[in-house]
Amino acid sequence: MRIVITGANGQLGQDVVKLLEAQHEVKGLGRDELDVTNLNQCLELIKKLEPDVIIHSAAYTAVDLAETEEEITFLVNATGTKNLALAAESIGAKLVYISTDYVFDGMAMNAYREDDETNPQSVYGKSKRAGEQHVLSLSKKHFIVRTSWVYGMYGNNFVKTMLNLAKTRDSIKVVSDQFGSPTYAVDLALFLEQLIETDHYGIYHASNSGVCSWYDFACVIFEESGVSIKVEPCTTEEFPRPAPRPRNSSMEHGAIRRIGFKDLRAWREGLRAFLKELGAIK
């Protein structure tokens, strides 16, 4: 297949390009190659490249900064996605839109299903939900893939931050009242590779299996990497941030099971694989 990947220099994008180019004709587009906020550029470039599939992972992801940069956040995440949806539809290409657990308010007692009501609380979450709505209304061949707590080899993420902090500290406080599913970018990329081969269009929740708190996640990072550091739990209120975080980010993977796919592996297994890749496990 001929595949275009936006956000190709980002954390997820780099892993997706690396995985897919082994089997497919892949064109990775960074910000310099494609300005997703420019409709004419999107239409012209997609028409020229004629992909079978567009994986749209480009996004404004600075969650806290988005609270004061609402205009640019919506321009990239909502309008940019609208432009890609129009471009995909103009040539009949499949469109994969990478979305987020932030489209939910995090107040549910149980894991969120794909068809549950969204109620984003942050500017980032609202902009990503707006992107979803454009995809739903403009693209016939669409996959909306909501994921959470992504980490990988490229860019900054929670795992790397924890390991770096442990080099200079004896103890660390980590929020223990926010729950979700850490997701290894390679595992998400493997799922996307499977999904684009199908015509099972719709909304998917894709994260590594199982749920933990950020505190639990930190403890396991240090345990698996053999790092000795005191980890203390704290509340969200003790660690205030400009953008509200969902207290409950856990998501049901019903759509994955319905199409007969094997679920993504347990989050601790994914973490172990990443730490080996990073060289953090002796």
Q: Which residues are catalytic?
A: 124
3-state secondary structure of 98: strand
Bridge partners (DSSP) of residue 190 are none
Helices 185-195 and 267-278: angle between axes, nearest 10 degrees: 110
Q: Which among 58, 30, 32, 34 is positioned nearest to 46, based on CA atoms?
A: 34
Residue 192 contacts residue 250 (beta carbons within 8 Å):
no
Those residues with Cβ within 8 angstroms of residue 37's Cβ, 6 or more apart along the chain or in another chain: 75, 76, 79, 80, 83
H helix intervals, the chain: 11-20, 39-49, 70-74, 80-91, 123-138, 158-165, 185-195, 214-225, 254-258, 267-278
> Whole-angstrom Cα distance, residue 27 to residue 50?
11
Tell me the CA distances in angstroms from 233 to 61, 173, 241, one per residue in order.
Answer: 26, 6, 17
Residue 142 contacts residue 85 (beta carbons within 8 Å):
yes
Question: For the chain, what is the radius of gyration of the CA atoms?
Answer: 18
**CA 74, 125, 146, 272 torsion-angle sign:** positive
Tokens encoding 146: 């909501």
> Whole-angstrom Cα distance, residue 151 to residue 6?
18
